[in-house]
Amino acid sequence: MVKSSVLGYPRIGADREWKKALEAFWSGKLEEDAFHERLRGIRLDHLRKQREKGIGIIPVNDFSYYDHVLDTAAMFGIIPKRFAYEDGPVPLSVYYGVARGTKDAAASEMTKWFNTNYHYIVPELDGAAPAVTENKPLAAYREAKEALGIEGKPVIVGPLTFLKLSKGYRPAETDAWLDRLLPLYVQILKELESEGVQWVQFDEPILVTKLGEDDVRRLQTVYATFADAAPNVNLMLQTYFESIGNYEDVVGLPVQGIGLDFVHGLSGNLASVKKFGFPEDKALGAGVIDGRGIWKASLGDKLALLDELNELVPAERLIVQSSCSLLHVPVTAKNESKLQAELKDALAFADEKLDELVLLAKAAASGKSAIQAELAACERALQALKQSDDRNRANVQLAVAEVSAKDAVRSKPFAERYVAQQNKWNLPIFPTTTIGSFPQSADVRKARQLWRKGEWSIDRYAGFIRDQIDTWINLQEEIGIDVLVHGEFERTDMVEFFGEKLAGFAFTQYGWVQSYGSRCVKPPIIYGDVAFEGAMTVEETKYAQSKTGKPVKGMLTGPITIMNWSFVRDDIPREQIAYQLAYALRQEVEALEAAGIGMIQVDEPAVREGLPLKEEEQAAYLAWAVKAFRLTTCTVQDATQIHTHMCYCEFHDMIDSIEAMDADVISIETSRSHGELIHSFEENTYKLGIGLGVYDIHSPRVPGVEEMTGMIDRALRVLDPKLFWINPDCGLKTRGAEETVASLRNMVEATRIARAKHAAEA
């Protein structure tokens, strides 16, 4: 009998109940006991749903109070010293302090989870004395069994992945740290074995990246140790997001199951299984349903794939599962009442993917005839979308093919543009600016809601937005910022806003996914050919510029970020989608310039998120990603200054590609990573304008002048003072007005000090 399973389920709830509980607790509106009980209710509801859908092996311990990597660190007492943690179970005050920062301690670094839009908290090993503080997987297993009678599958971040994603140790210390961590994992595993747990899922997505011989040796040590310590537990070594490169080494490990991604790693994993076979003593977790995409699977194609696998792995050792955790997709499509029928019928969110898994397991066990009606309905839905007018805009396809066939270059090199721009703007040394957005208060959100409901006219809403712009233009001038922004008060989300104004996009009502912590986003769906339909940002930007003599930046989201932060169609290459977006955004850039806006920022925070995990595929991706940005910006005049922004990713290994984007000024996050990006510029000369963020906007704390001055001084040791800008890490949308003003005042004061130190270099 073929079993079904998933690797994890979305924690946020269909109506973001999880997010609301977290924020109520943080604001003091929910006591800690009530908070625990509310999250327990959400957690049990998710388990109950999977059981009722018919999932055979249900994951537990995939639920989190914030982030699963932070959970693992807390389980082992790996808490930075600055949070004054001593021992025992980590209090929520400390747990959330590590994630969000406190008045006295900066938050731990946050970065992307492989090539997804989910961000995890980076464990800091420096100075840590790890010990098991509590057995979280065991508690989750007991809860599921006692409350619902579910024999759950505890999910644990594997040792090699956890160690590789941590910081605060030298490469030479890797084995020593593994020696410290391994007994803790063994303790967890032995306690699970004593409880009678049948399956434990160890997530090791690091195995889809390039591993050295030492890493393979470590992997063998880890799982041989586990096998000896807990021989009565079935271990599922789970990989995802790509194919594994060390196939023979991995399948030779002493575990009872190997989980492989047959969606994003289809070609590599299938080729390996066919070439080398699959061990007779192991179960194959076949990840055939896309855990990251929102499109209905072609059930016929998936059954054909399962038939291929079944030739090598008998049905009793085949587990049909998602390619990765369903954390990356919305909860359910059933409540989406406003989407056109041909689009809604082609969607599958988490709950619909559960149904697909159960259907595939049924058909794999009993034959296609067992799901014949579902197969036919699936094919009709997919064909209807494929043949729609929205996916066949011939004029867009022709125009994009024409512009993308040409080189995308500015008319003059940066050195000549720099002179033209300095002559035009006459900016001081170390110009100050912000990244774009200012606090969206409750009043701003309420006004937008009233307008969307039709209770406010468009004129009233536009007047309200102008009032907000007036307030913050005046504040920026009073604080002493050099290059201003209009504040983006009319925008809900930096991707959604543009998607609503471009053809080819659709928007859900409840399609939320977790980005980091309680931050949930509702990614647009790029389902058709993308087309420009009229100016999107000109009105507000032009109004803001009319209220000041200082330059105001036009603010756009770049093509790669819009693509990577959307759910995209899967019938054409992503490169083609990027060029369609670039061509549409180019027309907006040209409209801003025609309206007199001489500085235009095209944000690309998500370029790194789309980087393939396989090294051999990265150069091609970066080439067309850079080209898409340049297609967007290359037609402006020499004196028009193009800015871009990137945040919360590791950019040290793609500095050359960032420079190739040829933006006149780039701002990059650096404070949350405690300035580590600055190391990149000690070995790489950067010849364009650059601003390294001097404070973390994702923490409510107000950083002091001395702290920012230290960051500036460090950056100026390796960067040209004439090209250096000073700015926060990211947009200020989520911050309060009072803390924003206080932080920006400190930033300007730190800039004043820096200017005094470096006046001779101006």
Q: What are phi and psi of 51, to 5 degrees?
A: -65, -45
Cβ atoms of 452 and 715 within 8 Å: the answer is no
User: Cα separation of 502 and 526, whole Å?
Assistant: 10
Q: What are phi and psi of 616, to 5 degrees?
A: -70, -15
The sign of the CA dihedral 657, 659, 660, 666 is positive
Beta partners for residue 726, in sequence order = 432
Q: How many C-beta neighbours within 10 Å does residue 349 have?
A: 24
Q: Which conformational region is residue 255 in: left (phi greater than 0), alpha (psi within -120 to 50 degrees), or beta?
A: beta
Residue ranges of the alpha helices (H) in 133-259?
136-148, 159-164, 174-195, 213-229, 247-251
- Active site (catalytic) residues: 698
* Known binding-site residue numbers for L-methionine: 435-437, 488, 603
User: Look-up: residue for tokens 């061509």?
Assistant: 583
User: Cα separation of 556 and 544, whole Å?
Assistant: 15
Sequence-separated (6 or more) residues with CB below 8 Å from residue 332: 14, 349, 350, 351, 352, 510
* Known binding-site residue numbers: 16-19, 112, 117, 435-437, 488, 519-520, 565, 603, 609, 645, 647, 669, 730
Which tokens belong to 756?
């005094």
DSSP tag of 454: T
Collapse the DSSP code of 344 into the 3-class scheme (helix H, G, I; strand E, B; otherwise coil) and give the result.
helix
Closest CA to 657 of 616, 620, 617, 615: 620
Which tokens belong to 30?
């929910």
DSSP tag of 580: H
Which tokens belong to 574?
């992503």
Burial class (CB within 10 angstroms; exposed 0-12, middle 13-18, buried 19+) of 488: buried
Beta partners for residue 157, in sequence order = 203
Sequence-separated (6 or more) residues with CB below 8 Å from residue 679: 652
Cβ atoms of 166 and 124 within 8 Å: the answer is yes
User: Cα separation of 231 and 22, whole Å?
Assistant: 39
* Exposure class string for 443-474: b at 16+ Cβ within 10 A, else e: ebeebbeebeeeebeeeebbebbbebbeebbe
DSSP tag of 437: B
* Known binding-site residue numbers for L-homocysteine: 435-437, 488, 603
* Exposure class string for 521-552: b at 16+ Cβ within 10 A, else e: bbbbbbbbbbbbeebbbbebbbbbbebeeebb
Amino acid letter for position 388: S
DSSP tag of 552: B
